[in-house]
């Protein structure tokens, strides 16, 4: 008899706002119907991607910078446990407090507990993807704590009781008239004569936020980077509202994914070039805040950091998918994605939309979670995202990998195989030998018959009907190339055979 203690448990998958509530094709169908949304998105993504292209082109070493960013991230992933311990030691030595959270629930409970200890019932927030991911605002509200978003776009989304549609530009799906209407409806004391001019709207938000900054005792932030060698955290932003949150309150609670570490200050240099150019198309972002522990008499005196796993260890365990954790949340992939451009972020369900979301969400939750299995198919694999990614995440390859994980997870589980399963099996037979394909091609005249007199196939059954909803198929030729070649080369050696001059019949 042996005492088998079992394999170590696999890392747990994440929870929170990482799930698509409905399949991507269904959600996309609805979002595509919104003409205003499409116009807003098309305008915004084109503007940002042109700006990005311009500032990227002016750097002669952009490709080397991308290589450096990718290499640094790869080395971080390879020794993440060591770096996390090094960071913890240095952060703690400088007066900070570290909390470890396995999932969204644990992270939310830790933050709520820390706020409760201060006796406060209000917190100001600087835009943070991690807290969006765990649904912190909603949880705090249940606990009687009100969270105020201070990033302008986050504020707009929050006031509208909506969800962000983009990582960098959460309100990308709204135009300025819509924003004015939201302010008039939801912002206490908004001037009824508010116009839709951007400076006017910005000033209204500024006045609204200023009151919060001056009274809030607790702030919650995310972090763009953490430097292991000194225990330093960094937030990169455009408006300065983040800096107000990071410096004015007495207590600062940061929630950060464990993958955001960098080994040294020197490594930050690479990312400070990659991030602003990729995200906002700027050479440098206006505000970079870095803080290392507590400084007596200056800034927050209680400094906490919640280190969040929430499926990251599970993603790290996926050899093919782990580089998705290199993501620095710049949004360049979504700004160039033709699918995102037409559907917007809500179609993806999760906090992380676009190409990176299509791989990151299923990696964090597991492919079998709810509708997340539809996300890796939300791409034509055109590869624009890979080209734009500043840390060279091979998103198309990971999409294909996750599709295969999805297909394999469903093998043998269905009572009746899907049309796709049947079709792929039949196609595998037909396409795995020249003889088989030759046999199938003998049926080409049938297709020609189906096409009718105008030589077009306009309606196909089953899933192939997706094609004919907006595209015709030409009538097949009378003879395949294979048959033509065989006929031409029956008696002559290939070098002597002249191609037929009579191929009008088979011209497309």
Partner 1 sequence: MRIALFATCIVDAMYPATAKATVRILERLGHEVVFPEGQACCGQMHVNSGYLKEAVPVVANHVAAFDTADYDVAVAPSGSCVASVKHQHPMVARSCGDAALEARATAVGAKTYELSELLVDVLGVTDAGAQLGSYFPHRVTYHPSCHGMRLLRLGDRQSRLLRTVQGIDIADLPEADQCCGFGGTFSMKNADVSSAMLQDKAANVEATGAELCTGGDASCLMHIGGGLSRQGSSTTTLHLAEILASTMEEPASVTGEVRVSTGKALR
Near partner 1 in 478-497, by CB under 8 A: 479-482, 484-486, 489, 494-495
Per CB under 8 A, does 381 bind partner 1?
yes
Distance CA 386, CA 464 (A): 29
Counting contacts by CB under 8 A, is residue 420 touching partner 1? yes
Rounded to a whole number of angstroms, the minimum distance from the CB of residue 195 to partner 1 is 33
Q: Looking at beta carbons only, is 190 or 402 nearer to partner 1?
A: 402
255-274 binders of partner 1 (CB under 8 A): none
Cα separation, 252 vs 244, whole angstroms = 11
For partner 1, the closer CB: 207 or 387: 387
216 or 367: CB nearest partner 1: 367
Helices (H) and strands (E) in the chain, counts: 23, 12
Q: Does 437 participate in binding partner 1 (rule CB under 8 A)?
A: yes
39 binds partner 1 (CB under 8 A): no
The interface region with partner 1, picked from 205-213, 220-228, 310-318, 465-473 by CB under 8 A, is: 465-473
Angle at alpha carbon of residue 226, lines to 225 and 232, rounded to 5°? 125
Q: Considering the rule CB under 8 A, would residue 504 count as an interface residue with partner 1?
A: yes
Of 384, 391, 393, 395, the residue at the interface with partner 1 (CB under 8 A) is 384
Report which of 144, 282, 136, 297 is spatially closest to residue 222, judged by C-alpha positions.
Answer: 136
CB of 424 to partner 1, least distance (A): 4
To partner 1, the closest distance from the beta carbon of 178 in angstroms equals 22
Residue 318 sits in the site that holds partner 1 (CB under 8 A): no
Is residue 506 within the footprint of partner 1 (CB under 8 A)? yes
Cα separation of 179 and 158, whole Å? 12
**Of 118, 119, 164, 117, which is closest to residue 137 (Cα–Cα)?**
164
Taking the C-alpha atoms of residue 123 and residue 119, their distance in angstroms, rounded to an integer, is 11
Return the range that interacts with partner 1 (CB under 8 A); candidates 78-86, 294-302, 325-333, 383-391: 383-391
CB 340 within 8 A of CB 284: no
What value does the CA radius of gyration of the chain take, rounded to a whole number of Å?
27
Q: Using CB under 8 A, which of the segments 3-11, 97-105, 174-182, 457-465 binds partner 1?
A: 457-465
Looking at 103-111, 233-241, 272-280, 425-433, which segment touches partner 1 (CB under 8 A)?
A: 425-433
Which pair of tokens denotes residue 139? 């949880």
How far apart, in whole angstroms, are the C-alpha atoms of residue 144 and residue 120?
A: 10
Least Å distance between CB 18 and partner 1?
21
The residue to which tokens 């020794």 are assigned: 79
- Cα(401)–Cα(318) distance, integer angstroms: 10
Cβ atoms < 10 Å from Cβ of 327: 25
261 vs 88, 205, 266, 408, CA distance in Å?
11, 33, 13, 33
- State yes or no: residue 393 binds partner 1 (CB under 8 A): no
Find how far residue 213's CA is from the centre of its chain: 30
Rounded-to-integer distance, Cα 74 and Cα 68, Å? 10
Interface with partner 1, residue 471, by CB under 8 A: yes
> How far is the C-alpha of 313 from the C-alpha of 362, rounded, in Å?
13
The answer to whether 10 and 314 are in contact (CB under 8 A) is yes
Q: How far apart are CA 105 and CA 306, in angstroms?
A: 12
> What is the closest distance, in whole angstroms, from the C-beta atom of residue 491 to partner 1 in the complex?
16
Stretch that binds partner 1, among 59-67, 185-193, 260-268, 382-390 (CB under 8 A): 382-390
Closer Cβ to partner 1, 235 or 475, answer by number:
475
Contact characters 180-219, partner 1, x per CB under 8 A: ----------------------------------------
- Among 22, 370, 377, 445, the residue binding partner 1 under the rule CB under 8 A is 377
Coil/strand/helix, residue 385: helix
- Among 82, 191, 433, 487, the residue binding partner 1 under the rule CB under 8 A is 433
Q: Contact 58/260 with Cβ under 8 angstroms?
A: no
User: Is 32 near partner 1 (CB under 8 A)?
Assistant: yes
Beta-bridged to residue 232, according to DSSP, are 227
Pick one of 177, 286, 466, 487: the residue that binds partner 1 (CB under 8 A). 466
Near partner 1 by CB under 8 A: residue from 436, 459, 487, 492: 436
Please state the closest distance from residue 72 (CB atom) to partner 1, in A: 24
Of residues 2 through 31, those in contact with partner 1 by CB under 8 A are 24-25, 28-29
Shortest Cβ distance from residue 458 to partner 1 (Å)? Answer: 8
């Amino acid at each position: 008899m042996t005492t088998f203690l079992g394999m170590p448990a696999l890392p747990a998958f994440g929870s929170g706002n990482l799930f698509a509530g409905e399949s991507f094709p269904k959600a996309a169908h609805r979002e595509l119907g919104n003409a205003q949304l499409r116009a807003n998105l098309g305008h915004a993504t084109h503007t940002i991607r042109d700006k990005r292209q311009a500032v990227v082109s002016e750097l002669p070493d952009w490709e080397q910078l991308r290589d450096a960013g990718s290499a640094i991230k790869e080395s971080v992933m390879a020794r993440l446990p060591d770096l996390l311990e090094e960071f913890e030691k240095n952060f703690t030595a400088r007066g900070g407090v570290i909390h470890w959270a396995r999932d969204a629930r644990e992270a939310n409970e830790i933050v709520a507990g820390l706020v409760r200890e201060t006796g406060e019932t209000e917190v100001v927030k600087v835009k943070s993807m991690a807290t969006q991911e765990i649904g912190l605002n909603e949880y705090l509200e249940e606990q009687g704590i009100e969270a105020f978003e201070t990033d302008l776009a986050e504020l707009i989304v929050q006031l509208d009781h909506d969800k962000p549609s983009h990582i960098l530009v959460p309100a990308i799906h709204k135009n300025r008239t819509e924003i004015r209407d939201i302010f008039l409806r939801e912002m206490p004391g908004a001037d009824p004569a508010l116009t839709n001019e951007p400076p006017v709207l910005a000033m209204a938000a500024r006045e609204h936020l200023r009151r919060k900054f001056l009274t809030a005792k607790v702030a919650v932030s995310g972090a763009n980077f953490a430097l292991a060698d000194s225990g330093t955290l960094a937030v990169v932003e455009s408006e300065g509202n983040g800096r107000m949150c990071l410096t004015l309150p007495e207590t600062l609670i940061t929630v950060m994914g464990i993958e955001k570490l960098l080994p040294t200050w020197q490594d930050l240099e690479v990312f400070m070039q990659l991030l602003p150019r990729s995200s906002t198309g700027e050479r440098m972002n206006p505000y970079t805040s870095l803080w290392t522990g507590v400084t007596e008499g200056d800034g927050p005196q209680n400094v906490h950091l919640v280190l969040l796993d929430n499926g990251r260890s599970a993603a790290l365990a996926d050899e093919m998918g782990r580089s998705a954790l290199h993501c620095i949340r710049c949004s360049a992939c979504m700004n160039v994605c033709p699918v995102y451009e037409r559907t917007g972020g809500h179609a993806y369900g999760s906090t992380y939309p676009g190409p990176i979301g299509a791989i990151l969400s299923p990696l964090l939750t597991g492919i079998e979670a709810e509708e997340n299995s539809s996300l890796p198919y939300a791409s034509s694999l055109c590869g624009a995202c890979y080209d734009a990614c500043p840390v060279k995440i091979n998103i198309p390859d990971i999409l294909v990998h996750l599709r295969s994980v999805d297909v394999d997870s469903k093998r043998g589980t269905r009572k009746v195989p899907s049309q796709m399963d049947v079709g792929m099996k039949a196609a595998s037979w037909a396409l795995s030998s020249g003889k088989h394909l030759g046999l199938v091609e003998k049926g080409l005249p049938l297709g020609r018959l189906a096409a009718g007199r105008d030589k077009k196939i306009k309606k196909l059954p089953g899933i192939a009907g997706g094609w004919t909803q907006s595209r015709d198929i030409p009538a097949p030729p009378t003879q395949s190339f294979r048959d033509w070649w065989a006929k031409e080369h029956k008696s002559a050696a290939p070098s002597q055979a002249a191609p037929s001059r009579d191929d009008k019949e088979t011209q497309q």
